[in-house]
Structure 1
Amino acid sequence: MAAVRQQHKIFRAIEIGDGRDGRWASYARPLWQEMEGLLTDEGRTGRGADRVRTLFRTHMPELVPALDRLAGQLDRPGAEAFLTHAALRPFSRSCTQIGRPGSLLRNYDLPPEQCEGAIVSSCFLRPVIGMQDMLWGLLDGMNDAGLAVSLTWGGRSAYGPGFSILIVARYLLETCDTVDEAVDRLRSLPVAVPQNLTLVDPAKAVTVYVGPDIPPTTAPDACAANHQHLPVTDEQEQAMQTQERLHAIRAAGTDVAAMLRPPLYRTVDEQGSRTLYTAHYRPTEGRVTYYWPGESWQQSFGDFTPGSRTVAWDRAAPA
């Protein structure tokens, strides 16, 4: 017989401004001990730190002042190299997403303890709201121009020099107004791990496959699960149901209720991963709503409310 134990996750909404006044540092410093373990061995060396600093300054020059401010505020060995997101150990997320002009809907799946759960309102270069990860990267988000973006893992094990997709999402929202502008920027950004980005603005929605071994490639439609252009093996499908989820979201469209039901909503698996939240971005309205079964939390540029929500799940465990 299976016993049932409760699993909780606290989601917080915080404002950090441009990183100057210490609010970001107050959030980031307590997380540093667990974060620094994700820095690669190369990133811990002087030569490696110089390499990723140069990479960041070459490809994301607009964000260099913010990088310098945050590294100074964090004030820890290796902080600057970490914050470039170009010296992080590879990671993957199992997610599902769909875009329509003016609307972006996504489920984010991961073990709860591996998600920061921070909804952040920032203004490094412009107003941005999104679900933050790895201290200032973004899992999904929107900007004040009406552009929104979210990401999923591409399902392949390729790895190469480049940025984590989290800082790429941040960079696109900080510097681009439209989908076309963001897709054009992607052509010059090296990405370390295969990822799928879904981007929407008031007039357009696309999904783009990126990775260290492929050029940015536009998907057949503005939907993504956890595969790209290559056939999905039986083993991968059994483990992740990536094709099943993609078929389901194509059929459902931008229906929040469908995202809160299987197969799109995933209960805990053998690795402890589960759907942690559903996010519905309406960037033309400057609004995002986060959903859990029986609960929702709306934030917007006009009315961002700091606070916290505790989400509880029942999960079956061997007796």
Structure 2
Amino acid sequence: MSQYVKTFHAIEIGDGGDGRWAERVRPAMVRAEDWLTEEGRTPEGAARARRLFEEYMPELVPALDRLASQLASPQARTLLTMAAVRPFFSGCTQIGRNGTLLRNYDFAPEHCEGTIVFSHFLRPVIGMQEAGWGLLDGMNNAGLAVSLTFGGRFVHGPGFAIPLVLRYLLETCRTVDEALGRLRTLPIAIPQNVTLVDANRTVTVYVGPDIPLTETPGSCAANHQHLPVPDEQERTTRTQTRLAAIQAAGIDAAAMLRPPLYQCAYDEWLGTVYTAQYRPAEGRVTYHWPKESWDHSFVGFSPGSRTVTLGLPDESDDRRHTPDPA
């Protein structure tokens, strides 16, 4: 099985205005144009993206301007709106139960930013950053946690890339019900499955450019929204297999580090890059890998770096990390 070495970083950026955020993201923003749609690379497309952001996320306009002022590239500033982003597709499996959100993020390691950020734009938020200031998953100090998986359907429409939507929900909402209300109003560019957890409620919803927000009967998701899943898609992603496995395992971080939930197809962009376990009511998150873990909280955030090995270690290695399933 393939193994990769990847370095993850944890940084505090406050409101993003003191240079720490910009120092971290500037190297990646050099290639901002690669993220944008053809329309988004034009002045007219950039203006439309800005108008969409102002219409749907007005509370974050001051933060957007503060961050954008530190980036010289117009394309990078447009990217921050995440309203003109080319579609990207990942794996992932997630579940929410009893106030805990547990997820595997599956992607190509070299294309995952790997930055855990503690920010305070509108309120304190901790999460795994993507595309400048979007989030793949995260929690806020009100006790709300959210996470995404790709919905499995290759359609694209006008709207926001989901990492910024997760950021917006955590910045503006305190509960699952509040977040659902806001999520219903937002245009989403590609099909996504979103799991939301607070102390009193857990729900997974399907969203996308061609469907209304749909609550699912369970509190977990892999990479499909509708049945039947095409045979080729199942062979490639094992989405139904993973969904059944996580439904059976429940909140069990150790199970997330074993097949079929832990995936090693890194060369096909379907390898597990990290496992995140959020306890939002406690303000705590643990990021797991097969041999180690890294804890963070609002009262005990730990800036720094960790270099970890991705992929399953040899079964004879008795140093295998077994996280607390609770």
Q: TM-score range by the shorter chain?
A: over 0.9
- Structure 1 gap ranges (5+): none
How big is the shift at 1:312?
Answer: 1.8
- The residue type paired with residue 286 of structure 1 is G
Answer whether contact 1:90 1:193 (CA < 8 A) is retained.
yes
Over the matched positions of the two proteins, sequence identity in percent amounts to 65
Corresponding residue for residue 170 of structure 1: 167
- Which residue of the other structure, out of 213, 216, 238, is the alignment partner of 2:213? 216
Aligned equivalents of 1:233, 1:62: Cα separation in 2: 41
- The residue type paired with residue 271 of structure 1 is E
Listed as ranges, the matches of 1:84-95 within 5 Å are: 84-95=81-92
Corresponding residue for residue 27 of structure 1: 24
Aligned equivalents of 1:233, 1:268: Cα separation in 2: 20
Instruction: Report the RMSD for the aligned CA atoms in angstroms.
Output: 1.4
Corresponding residue for residue 51 of structure 1: 48
How big is the shift at 1:270?
Answer: 4.8
Residue correspondences, number: 313
- The residue type paired with residue 115 of structure 2 is A
- The residue type paired with residue 251 of structure 1 is A
Aligned equivalents of 2:59, 2:173: Cα separation in 1: 11
Corresponding residue for residue 295 of structure 1: 292
- The residue type paired with residue 34 of structure 1 is R
Corresponding residue for residue 67 of structure 2: 70
- Other structure's SS at 2:282 match: coil
- Other structure's SS at 1:105 match: strand
Corresponding residue for residue 12 of structure 1: 9
- Which residue of the other structure, out of 228, 234, 241, is the alignment partner of 1:244? 241
How big is the shift at 1:201?
Answer: 0.2
TM-score by structure 1 length?
Answer: 0.95
Corresponding residue for residue 308 of structure 1: 305
How big is the shift at 1:34?
Answer: 2.9
- Which residue of the other structure, out of 235, 250, 262, is the alignment partner of 1:253? 250
- Other structure's SS at 1:188 match: coil
Answer whether contact 2:107 2:270 (CA < 8 A) is retained.
yes
Aligned equivalents of 1:6, 1:92: Cα separation in 2: 21
Point out 4+ residue stretches in structure 1 off by more than 4 angstroms. Answer: none
- The residue type paired with residue 277 of structure 2 is H
Q: Deviations over 1:197-239 (max 9, x none)?
A: 0000000000010000000000111100000024201111000
Distance verdict in 2 for CA 1:258–1:188, change over 3 Å: same
Q: Deviations over 1:31-90 (max 9, x none)?
A: 112333111121121111111101000000000000111110122122221100011110
Corresponding residue for residue 157 of structure 1: 154
Corresponding residue for residue 267 of structure 1: 264
- Other structure's SS at 1:57 match: helix
- The residue type paired with residue 213 of structure 1 is D
Listed as ranges, the matches of 1:161-240 within 5 Å are: 161-240=158-237
Answer whether contact 1:102 1:146 (CA < 8 A) is retained.
no
Aligned equivalents of 1:37, 1:310: Cα separation in 2: 27
Answer whether contact 2:32 2:76 (CA < 8 A) is retained.
no
Please tell me whether residue 279 in structure 1 is matched to residue 276 in structure 2: yes
Answer whether contact 1:97 1:105 (CA < 8 A) is retained.
yes
Distance verdict in 2 for CA 1:68–1:241, change over 3 Å: same
Distance verdict in 2 for CA 1:314–1:176, change over 3 Å: closer
Aligned equivalents of 2:206, 2:75: Cα separation in 1: 30
Answer whether contact 1:139 1:169 (CA < 8 A) is retained.
yes
Aligned equivalents of 2:151, 2:139: Cα separation in 1: 21
- Other structure's SS at 1:78 match: helix
- Other structure's SS at 1:73 match: coil
How big is the shift at 1:100?
Answer: 1.2
- Other structure's SS at 1:109 match: strand
Aligned equivalents of 2:41, 2:54: Cα separation in 1: 18
- The residue type paired with residue 244 of structure 1 is T
Please tell me whether residue 81 in structure 1 is matched to residue 78 in structure 2: yes
- The residue type paired with residue 185 of structure 2 is S
- The residue type paired with residue 173 of structure 1 is L
How big is the shift at 1:129?
Answer: 0.0
Answer whether contact 1:28 1:74 (CA < 8 A) is retained.
no
Distance verdict in 2 for CA 1:5–1:195, change over 3 Å: closer
How big is the shift at 1:247?
Answer: 0.3
Please tell me whether residue 103 in structure 1 is matched to residue 100 in structure 2: yes
- The residue type paired with residue 312 of structure 1 is T
Answer whether contact 1:122 1:129 (CA < 8 A) is retained.
yes
How big is the shift at 1:242?
Answer: 0.2
Corresponding residue for residue 142 of structure 1: 139
